[in-house]
A and B are shown apart, each in its own frame.
Chain A
Amino acid sequence: MANDRWRLSQAYRIPVDRSRHDLRRLAGRVVLRVATHMGRFSYLVLEILRGLVEWRIWVPRTFEQANHVGAGSLFIVLLVAAFAGGVTSLQAGYQFTGGIPVYFAAGVITESIILELGPVLTALILAGRVGARYAAELGTMRVTEQIDALESLGRSPVSHLVIPRVIAGTIMLPVLVIFADLVGILSGWGAARSALDITNYDFVYGARYFFRPFDLWYSLIKSVFFGLAVTVVPCYMGFNTQKGAEGVGRSTTAAVVSSSVLILFLDALLSKVLLE
């Protein structure tokens, strides 16, 4: 049947409709590409788990990386947290009018910071700052054969380069989130005093009234997952960089976009799983 159609099309020079065929090829390519990435990513995760036993290699390098992630990102994280807390208060002041008790606003401000703004904004900042750096560093090392050089010396590039970065990011992100929560709440408190005319007593009362210890745990659990997202994904992208400087640029962009999307996806998933 198909042969007849082709013969007819040739005989009368009718262009063959290849759109269905092209669509199948495109779908095949996409499936193959996704499967390749999944396979490589799983292999990297497996290598990370295997490499954990080589602690003599990764522990000293982890301190070095933790310093870059923690101290290096502290200023921008605190700045963003301060603005986030302040703006949340100003918007609460705009919305909380009429008969709503003013201490409710304190609860909304502190809970918004602890549950959502602190972890998510900090993670997104680190996705841009640390994730981009990791992808660019490892990508450059890949295209200049430095990763191959490590392998050729009988050393594991994962233990030397990936594990210290992943552990440093996963430990430092919750630490940064604690600071971000603290500064966000303090700045929100300051802004609330002017925007809402709230007393210190009312603010503390409202904050404590709505606070549950689990909220803090939730914030920290989320930030551990976000820490993995902003380190493992960029390390994977950098590690699999190809085609020179252009490839490094592409990996860096892909690392920031993918880890940011993953953060938002994890945020929704963890809210569903942990808060219900």
Chain B
Amino acid sequence: MIELRDIHKRFGDNIVLDGVDFSVHQGETVALLGPSGVGKSVLIKHINGLIHPDSGDVFVDGLSIPHLGRKELAKLRTRIGYVFQFGALFDSLSVYENIRLGITDLESASDGAFCRRRVEECLDLVNLPLDTAEKYPGDLSGGMRKRVGIARAIAGQPTYLLYDEPTSGLDPVNADIIDALIQKLQGELGVTSVVVSHDVRGSFRVGNRIALLADRKIRLVGTADELRGSQDQAVRQFLERDFGTGVVSD
């Protein structure tokens, strides 16, 4: 289980998060919605300790992330897959080497045959042809890079998956492919996921629950139906941007 309690974070004079409470239960997918620049990426980076809160606490499996030592944090991170907004693939390494780096168990990582098999499995899971393994990130399209990023994140068989804007910058067809992939991975791997997005339709499709981050706080958390029925002005305003006035449907 992931739990963020009363998180405060500021960068210089810019207050990004001001008392955020947020939790994700085992096995569910929560979509974290919000306008661009509101601090969604900052919030999920607290979950794997890439950013530490100014105050408040973050718990993953009962472990307080800001209070973990280097080794404990590194060990915990092997259970949390992170899909970066722009892929963050290592451009000097081939796709095979990128995904291989995701195999976080050191014993398995030193077994060449296991790595080859696992990389092929991951490429298959993200619907990429096996010959992609020999290519370099520079040879791939935006959608393929995102899928390789997902393959790298799942290579270590994590318990949690954090997606940072997995569909941003993609055309609707590729965005649908990525959304379907997130649903497929949740079904096949049973991982607990947090999907950061500003795409309302995609979030409604992949999330068991949806949280809206606005004005430095979580404004609302609930199912798609609960969000549709919300009378909160900020929620309605945000949803109407995607679905048109008063019409919010799948």
Residues of A within 8 A of B (CB): 50, 141, 144-146, 148-156
Contact = CB atoms under 8 A, between A and B. Distances in A.
29 contacts: A50-B70, A145-B85, A145-B86, A146-B88, A146-B90, A146-B91, A148-B45, A148-B50, A148-B84, A148-B88, A149-B82, A149-B88, A149-B90, A151-B77, A152-B77, A152-B82, A152-B84, A153-B77, A153-B78, A153-B101, A153-B102, A153-B152, A154-B74, A154-B75, A154-B76, A154-B77, A154-B78, A155-B74, A155-B104
A144 B137 CA distance: 13
B101 A155 contact: yes
Contacts of B77: 151-154
A144 B74 CA distance: 21
Contacts of A144: 86, 88, 91
Nearest to A152: B82
4 smallest CB-CB distances across A and B, nearest first, come from A145-B88, A152-B82, A149-B88, A154-B77
A141 B91 CA distance: 9
Given A149-B89, A149-B152, A152-B77, 11 more contacts: A144-B91, A145-B85, A145-B88, A148-B84, A148-B88, A151-B77, A152-B80, A153-B78, A153-B102, A155-B74, A155-B104
A28 B122 CA distance: 52
Contacts of B82: 149, 152
Interface residues of B, number: 23
Interface of B: 45, 48, 50, 70, 74-78, 80, 82, 84-86, 88-91, 101-102, 104, 152, 156
Contact of B156 (A50, A148, A150, A153): A153
A145 B78 CA distance: 18
